[in-house]
Amino acid sequence: MTVSMLKAGVITVRENNSATDYFVSDGFVFFNNPKDGSGNCVAEISGVEIVPVSALDKERATQMIAELNAGSKDSDWARVRAQLGTNLLNQVIKASTA
């Protein structure tokens, strides 16, 4: 088994002839190597937040960035919260326009 950490971004799930894009805030992917000689690996995704890209709201994400940046920055936590939130919301905006 191989385990990798995921950063915020889009994953595509393909099943039969269809494909669906999902936004993942962060998480892990687990690759299970085939034991039957088929060559077909199984990938399992465990994420904090996983939503269809079609559910993302670019305008709301932009508004939330403005709210984070307008908030108080008088403590280390407030500054870190604003930076982490802005980074994640920028990935939401990027995914919603892809």
pLDDT of residue 98: 66
Of 55, 51, 57, 56, give the one whose Cα is nearest residue 22. Answer: 51
CA distance 72 to 70: 7
Q: Is the pTM of this model over 0.85?
A: no
Give the pLDDT mean for 64-83.
91
Asked whether the predicted pLDDT for residue 23 surpasses 90, the reply is yes
